[in-house]
Structure 1
Amino acid sequence: MLMQADDELFVQGVIHEIGEVERTLDATVTVSTPYGLRRARLAASCLVRPGPGDTVLVAGRGDACFVLSVLERHAEGPLELHLDRDTRLDVQGQLSVQTTGATRFGSATEVAIDAPSVELRGDKVALTGAQVSIAAQSLTWMADTLEATARWCRQVADVWSLRARHHQREVEEMELVRVGHLDLQAQQVMNLRARHTVLRSDELTKVDGKQVQVG
């Protein structure tokens, strides 16, 4: 690069060095080079955050020094990609992420997935949260075994329909039913049994059958 000052031309070049990282700070790293220790910043193109012991390529010009890339990884711990600003990944096609170990996504605020169709598959799927909300125009549950456990459960519906081959319900204490009309029908046998049974109506009580036995 040519620079002109006081009517004189000075040539100022960029020096490339290969060194070893001695220590790292939040914004800078200290690199040991054949010309001594250099304090360098990470270049925008250096996405891999270097660690102590890594071999890096350093470029310097004057007092400015930057780590361009990590050539060899010797530091312990996982490989860390560093992005110091909002980042957008634009792929004109399909994007696949495949790992041989666990895959984790984390955020300090929120994680959002926006797509016309979202599919989640797994042999074992666990959803844990302090508050979980599901809102859908149509929701379908299909399972071989479905179990729900809650300390308090409330269900509200305009129409509630239940169809099963066998239905069993157990209430340890009190069951309270309030309906506008109640119609109980059994094709074979209906058995009402209690220590005390009270039948009460304000106007009419009717018992109809071919045989009526009392006692």
Structure 2
Amino acid sequence: MGDSANALIKQILNRPVNAIGRVITFDETGFCIALDSGECVAKRAASCLLAPEPGDSVLVCGPHAAALYIIAVLERSNDVPSRLLLGKDAEISASGRLSLASDELLVRARSATTLIDQLSSFGRELSASIGKIKLVGNLFESFLDRVSQFTGHSLRTVEGVDQVRSSVIDYRAEQSLNLQGSEVIATAKELIKVDGKQIHIG
């Protein structure tokens, strides 16, 4: 093969590429793309956030055939879920309002930290399965129609006043009920009843 033929082949290989192809397979080396002129290997461009999948129609560009990049995913031929690849570390910033809307939202992370000055949450139902909960704050308020709690052990420590106001209070203990204080006062407008096999006073 003469020098002119080699120069022509080199000129063809070094020609810029701008074509539409179809993803065949992908591995750690890159994506195998089927073009009209044949198959090639391309990397995903940093600006192509949508991860290409086999069967996708993609736009391939590059300065020559040995340095090709997938610029964008044009069409998806199957129902594979869309994946956005933002790199190792990423940040989404908006000077105004940022909204997320979907029928179902799934967030998965090894650890998460939220820094919010004011949080308002509105929903119909909340179900949570958590191994440990710790709350630290200055004020806690809850307004509920009904509260049901089931626990193996319960311990409360109140430094100041512990006050309960209710129309009916019912405390029942299967073994023992212990009331202690420097002063214990029981007051009733109509009736005080003490019933037991043995009653010790003093």
TM bucket (normalised to shorter chain) is 0.7 to 0.9
Q: Which moved more, 1:175-184 or 1:137-146?
A: 175-184
| Unpaired runs of at least 5, structure 2 | 1-10
Is the CA contact 1:27–1:42 (under 8 Å) kept in the aligned structure 2? Answer: no
Q: Name the counterpart of 1:37.
A: 39
How far off is 1:75 after superposition? 3.4
Larger radius of gyration: 1
> How many residues get paired?
189
Q: Name the counterpart of 1:131.
A: 132
Is the CA contact 2:17–2:68 (under 8 Å) kept in the aligned structure 1? Answer: no
The answer to whether structure 1 residue 89 and structure 2 residue 97 are counterparts is no
Query: 1:169-208 to 2 correspondence within 5 Å?
Result: 169-200=171-202
Q: Say if 1:25 and 1:105 are closer, same or farther in 2 by CA, change over 3 A.
A: same
How far off is 1:16 after superposition? 0.9
Is the CA contact 2:58–2:70 (under 8 Å) kept in the aligned structure 1? Answer: yes
What are the Cα deviations for residues 107-126 of structure 1, in whole angstroms up to 9, with x where unaligned? 12x22221210111100012
Query: Which contiguous aligned blocks of 4+ residues in structure 1 show a shift greater than 4 angstroms?
Result: 10-13
Higher helix share: 2
How far, CA to CA, are the matches of 1:123 and 1:26 in structure 2?
45
How far, CA to CA, are the matches of 1:85 and 1:27 in structure 2?
18
Is the CA contact 1:52–1:75 (under 8 Å) kept in the aligned structure 2? Answer: no
| Unpaired runs of at least 5, structure 1 | 1-9, 201-215
The normalised TM-score by structure 2 is: 0.87
- Partner SS, residue 40 of structure 2: strand
What are the Cα deviations for residues 44-95 of structure 1, in whole angstroms up to 9, with x where unaligned? 1100001111000111333111111000011332111111121111111111
The answer to whether structure 1 residue 18 and structure 2 residue 28 are counterparts is no
- Partner SS, residue 47 of structure 1: coil
How far off is 1:25 after superposition? 2.2
Q: Say if 1:78 and 1:27 are closer, same or farther in 2 by CA, change over 3 A.
A: farther
The normalised TM-score by structure 1 is: 0.82
How far off is 1:35 after superposition? 1.8
Identity %: 19
How far off is 1:14 after superposition? 2.2
Q: Which structure exhibits the higher relative contact order, with contacts defined as CA atoms closer than 8 Å and separated by 6 or more residues?
A: 2
How far off is 1:31 after superposition? 0.9
Q: Name the counterpart of 1:207.
A: none
Query: 1:117-156 to 2 correspondence within 5 Å?
Result: 117-156=118-157
How far off is 1:176 after superposition? 2.2
